[in-house]
């Protein structure tokens, strides 16, 4: 993303700013998406992700910045350019599905093609194709109101992709579905997007959704970007406390990097009551010697045993141990702090027991506060 000299990405958002009254909903963000990729904007409600999506769609104007798709300028605040939404050739799936209740499934899906004045026979065959793709062939003649939530979702997707648009936008499309259907639709959406190969931007507050579906994830908060990267990178190397906390589960301990031992590695000093415990760690981006930082350790990277392996000695007491078959979900009190640990079942930890915690130095990451 930093290389400005390479050919620009397919979707390019630069310096986007959007005000709502006195609220700076989007605060000058920039990013790009390569052709055919699936980007997720992830963050809690009010972080500006939906506003960003609506700006790309052209459903509202922007106050500063520029949006381009495939070299075509969609919006540019500086040049006072605004392409109306219907000219942008974008497919969009809305949170409420927005399936028109006065039309059948076929009429809904055929609509974008009719608008584009496609020949009747071609409309029929393309609608049939896309309904087969989303698995709604049996429902073609049904009124939209006769569909279940999941079926409306599929119909909305079919309508969005039938015209083979330049870009596909999703506004929290799964948030109205129940968990089981949501998990199933995640995989299916990703499969269909992959099959049709349309560049996609997806908005969600569900980190699991983001991890499963995306090629790239942008974590947002308060109108700006916290981090952008692939799902694995975001999970394994969060840039700061916010991202680490938002993606997955992590133990986050405050302290300080006291020494850099070799490039990318160092020693982290944890505050534990009056004493200081030093543990080896990896250094995240922007973390330097002497700086106060946060140590982020995932529960699966902490080992809890009865055996004392010497320094660094982290000794605590088990608060809770829930046996889940292949692992034990533990909470271990250590001074003021409560560790979340996935322990091995053979340890057979029980509440109240003294245990020693061993952090995997390769996955103990010092990140920005």
Residues that bind other proteins (CB under 8 A): 1-2, 4, 14-15, 28-31, 57-60, 66, 73, 76, 78-82, 84-92, 94-102, 111-112, 115-116, 145, 149, 152, 156, 159-160, 163, 169, 176, 218, 224-225, 227-229, 233, 239, 285-286
In the complex with other proteins, which residue's Cβ is closer, 172 or 269?
Answer: 172
In the complex with other proteins, which residue's Cβ is closer, 139 or 160?
Answer: 160
CA atoms within 13 A on the CB side of 314: 26
Please provide the size of the chain in residues.
Answer: 369
**Please, what is the minimum distance in Å from the beta carbon of residue 117 to other proteins?**
10
**Please, what is the minimum distance in Å from the beta carbon of residue 19 to other proteins?**
13
Contact 8, 34 (CB under 8 A): no
**Please, what is the minimum distance in Å from the beta carbon of residue 233 to other proteins?**
7
**Cα dihedral 173, 20, 22, 247 in deg (nearest 10):** 20
Contact 228, 218 (CB under 8 A): yes
Cα distances from 368 to residues 253, 258, 298, in angstroms, run 11, 14, 16
Beta bridge partners of 171: 203
**Please, what is the minimum distance in Å from the beta carbon of residue 80 to other proteins?**
5
In the complex with other proteins, which residue's Cβ is closer, 116 or 191?
Answer: 116
Question: ∠ CA(41), CA(25), CA(284), 5° rounding?
Answer: 50
- Which residue in 224, 223, 226 sits closest to 25, CA to CA? 223
CA atoms within 13 A on the CB side of 346: 0
Residue 115, classified by CB atoms within 10 Å of its CB into exposed (0-12), middle (13-18) or buried (19+), is exposed
Q: In the chain, how many H helices and how many E strands?
A: 8, 21
In the complex with other proteins, which residue's Cβ is closer, 139 or 302?
Answer: 139
**Please, what is the minimum distance in Å from the beta carbon of residue 228 to other proteins?**
5
**Please, what is the minimum distance in Å from the beta carbon of residue 167 to other proteins?**
10
Tell me the chain's radius of gyration from C-alpha atoms. 25
**Please, what is the minimum distance in Å from the beta carbon of residue 164 to other proteins?**
12
In the complex with other proteins, which residue's Cβ is closer, 85 or 312?
Answer: 85
In the complex with other proteins, which residue's Cβ is closer, 66 or 269?
Answer: 66
**Please, what is the minimum distance in Å from the beta carbon of residue 345 to other proteins?**
37
In the complex with other proteins, which residue's Cβ is closer, 229 or 316?
Answer: 229
In the complex with other proteins, which residue's Cβ is closer, 115 or 319?
Answer: 115
Cα distances from 176 to residues 145, 197, 296, in angstroms, run 16, 25, 32
Contact 361, 279 (CB under 8 A): yes
């Amino acid at each position: 993303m930093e290389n400005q000299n390479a050919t620009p990405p397919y979707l390019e958002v630069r310096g986007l700013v959007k005000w709502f009254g006195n609220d700076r909903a989007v605060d000058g963000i920039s990013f790009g998406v390569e052709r055919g990729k699936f980007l997720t904007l992830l963050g809690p409600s009010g972080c500006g992700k939906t506003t960003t999506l609506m700006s790309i769609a052209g459903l509202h104007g922007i106050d500063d910045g520029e949006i381009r798709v495939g070299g075509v300028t969609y919006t540019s605040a500086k040049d006072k350019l605004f392409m109306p939404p219907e000219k942008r050739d974008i497919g969009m799936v809305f949170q409420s599905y927005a399936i028109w209740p006065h039309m059948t499934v076929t009429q809904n899906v055929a609509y974008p093609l009719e608008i584009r004045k496609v020949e009747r026979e071609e409309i029929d065959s393309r609608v049939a194709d896309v309904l087969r793709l989303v698995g709604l062939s049996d429902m073609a003649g049904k009124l939209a109101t006769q569909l279940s939530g999941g079926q409306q979702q599929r119909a909305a997707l079919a309508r969005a992709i039938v015209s083979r648009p330049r870009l596909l936008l999703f506004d929290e499309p799964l948030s109205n579905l129940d968990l089981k259907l949501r998990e199933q639709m995640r995989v299916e959406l990703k499969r269909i997007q992959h099959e049709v190969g349309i560049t996609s931007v997806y908005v969600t507050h569900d980190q699991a959704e983001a991890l499963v579906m995306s090629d790239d994830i942008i974590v947002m908060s308060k109108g700006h970007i916290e981090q952008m990267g692939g799902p694995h990178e975001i999970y394994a190397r969060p840039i700061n406390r916010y991202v680490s906390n938002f993606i997955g589960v992590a133990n986050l301990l405050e302290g300080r990097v006291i020494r850099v031992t070799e490039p990318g590695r160092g020693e982290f000093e944890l505050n534990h009551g009056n004493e200081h415990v030093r543990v080896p760690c990896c250094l995240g981006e922007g973390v330097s010697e002497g700086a106060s930082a946060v140590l982020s350790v995932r529960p699966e990277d902490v080992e809890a045993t009865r055996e004392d392996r010497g320094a660094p000695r982290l000794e605590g007491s088990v608060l809770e141990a829930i046996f889940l078959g292949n692992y034990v979900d533990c909470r271990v009190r250590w001074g003021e702090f409560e560790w979340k640990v996935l322990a091995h079942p053979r340890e057979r930890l029980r509440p109240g027991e003294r245990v020693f915690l061993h952090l995997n130095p390769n996955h103990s990451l010092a990140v920005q506060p």
